[in-house]
Structure 1
Amino acid sequence: MRMIFRCDPALADHLPRPTPARGGLPDWLRQMPAKAHSDIHGRDIRTVKQCPPFVDAMAYGALIPLPCDVNVDRGSFSWDWDIPQPAASGHPRAPLSFHVASQFAGAPFARDDQAAIKFNSFWTIEVEQGWSLFATHPVNRDDLPFRLITGLVDADLFHDGGINFPAIWTKPDFSGVLPKGTPVAQVFAVPREATELEFDTFDDAHKRAYEKTVAEVLDRPNVYRKHFRARRGHI
């Protein structure tokens, strides 16, 4: 599976590139201890840093970076970003734009009359035929002061225009800098063909396999990591 990113030639030297998500794991995860004491268990237990599904989800796909520093003062956004005039007409120059609140009235994430911010796209994205692009909030990144609104784009067909990323700003009292390179979206390709659901009950073989697997998981640590996890990049 290839994911092709293209940008305006006038901006190529001014834009941070999207990166494999496995290379953008946050510092808090890297610094997290592998074990922590649990009063309930009366002993040290493994943290989510040792949970492969937790980490692998964060490391999947690609991260879209914020192209410049954005200054934030309690819901007011500004930036000082001197870039050339793009070669293509209709191309954005601002890192942010907005969706008015009425565009998502009644949605559970709506916040009174608060507009949604929109991270403008400076890269087009093309995936292989028959696949779509799933764009979501950077996985498990509740430390970020916004929450991206998830979307699915048929990027095998729509790949000559930028895909913008709307988000709800979740920390109204935040004042500071959202730095250049902050991951604003996590994207990965998914097959567009509809999934066929099948339902069945355990036969004897599946029952024995279930009991064996559960017993092994309960008996010792790292069973999934050692015997079931596919090889990939590690933290």
Structure 2
Amino acid sequence: MKLGFRCLPELFGLVPEPVPARSSLPDWLRAAPAMIPSETLGGAQVRGLKQCPPLIDALSLGVMFRLAADVTVQEGELSWDWEPPASLAARQTRAPIGLHVPEQAAGVPFGLPPDQFVIKFTNFWTVAAPEGVSLLFTHPLNREDLPFKTLAGMVDCDRFRDGFVHFPAIWRDPGFEGVLPAGTPVAQGFPIRREALELDCAPMSPAELAAHGKVQDGLQDDPGLYRKTYRATRA
């Protein structure tokens, strides 16, 4: 599937491009041990999350959108020293972060203090998807290390292909101070075909039960069976 991304001519080369999520894996994943002694199991070696293919695939799936500029966080204030060129042909903010006023989040269970703004990461790229395809934008999966939580939303990018989709987020770590560097992942996008789902729920047939037992026995004998046998080839 091909997705098209376009930015204003003045900004090309100045703002981080969207990248395949697999090229933006977190440093903590690379540093995580593959095998870990478990005190719970008397020191026996157990496989770490680094060896969990579903977790790795979630981190690697789709497109990663990244922060446009360094943002300094100090005493609850966000600031930046970034002055990209203005465009005479388009109306677009040049700030890497905007906001929604607190009242816009009234009545939602996000744990937002009454006086706290909802921040909004500026996306400088339009997204064009093939016909019948929407994009689900959400917080980078399994990235609980980030001090914010991007809210999920879905946009029909086959139709809304000439406008910018920005990313609202809750600032969830009031104690964080430092610099969010340019290139920090702020949203992960997943193309989804708009197709009606049909759900088929039933008890396992004898053949299905036998197949299930075979899978369970295989996973017990070989912890890497899913990765070697059932996991699809990744592009």
Could you tell me the TM-score, scaled by structure 2's length?
Answer: 0.96
- Cα deviation, residue 194, structure 1: 2.1
What amino acid is aligned across from residue 234 of structure 2 in structure 1? Answer: R
Is 1:200 the equivalent of 2:202?
yes
- Cα deviation, residue 22, structure 1: 0.3
What amino acid is aligned across from residue 182 of structure 1 in structure 2? Answer: T
Q: Which residue of 2 aligns with 1:78?
A: 79
Q: In the alignment, is the contact (CA less than 8 A) between 2:74 and 2:177 conserved in 1?
A: yes
Provide the C-alpha distance between the structure 1 equivalents of 2:9 and 2:150, rounded to a whole number of angstroms: 28
Q: Which residue of 2 aligns with 1:212?
A: 214
CA RMSD of aligned residues (A): 1.1
Deviations 1:149-177 (A, max 9, x none): 00011111111110000000011121110
Q: Which moved further from structure 2: 54-63 or 191-200?
A: 191-200
After TM superposition, the runs of 4+ consecutive aligned structure 1 residues lying more than 6 A away are none
What amino acid is aligned across from residue 123 of structure 1 in structure 2? Answer: W
Q: Which residue of 2 aligns with 1:155?
A: 157
- Cα deviation, residue 89, structure 1: 2.3
Q: Which residue of 1 aligns with 2:68?
A: 67
Provide the C-alpha distance between the structure 2 equivalents of 1:58 and 1:196, rounded to a whole number of angstroms: 27
Q: Which residue of 1 aligns with 2:37?
A: 37
* Structure 1 unaligned blocks of 5 or more: none
Provide the C-alpha distance between the structure 2 equivalents of 1:85 and 1:213, rounded to a whole number of angstroms: 58
Deviations 1:162-193 (A, max 9, x none): 00000000111211100000000000101112
Provide the C-alpha distance between the structure 2 equivalents of 1:156 and 1:14, rounded to a whole number of angstroms: 26
What amino acid is aligned across from residue 228 of structure 2 in structure 1? Answer: K
- Cα deviation, residue 77, structure 1: 0.7
* Structure 2 unaligned blocks of 5 or more: none
What amino acid is aligned across from residue 11 of structure 2 in structure 1? Answer: L
Provide the C-alpha distance between the structure 1 equivalents of 2:192 and 2:62, rounded to a whole number of angstroms: 10
Deviations 1:56-115 (A, max 9, x none): 000000110101101111320111112111243211111011011111112111412211
Q: Which residue of 1 aligns with 2:51?
A: 50
Secondary structure of the 2:190 match is strand
Match 2:180 to one of 178, 185, 192 = 178
Q: Which residue of 2 aligns with 1:139?
A: 141
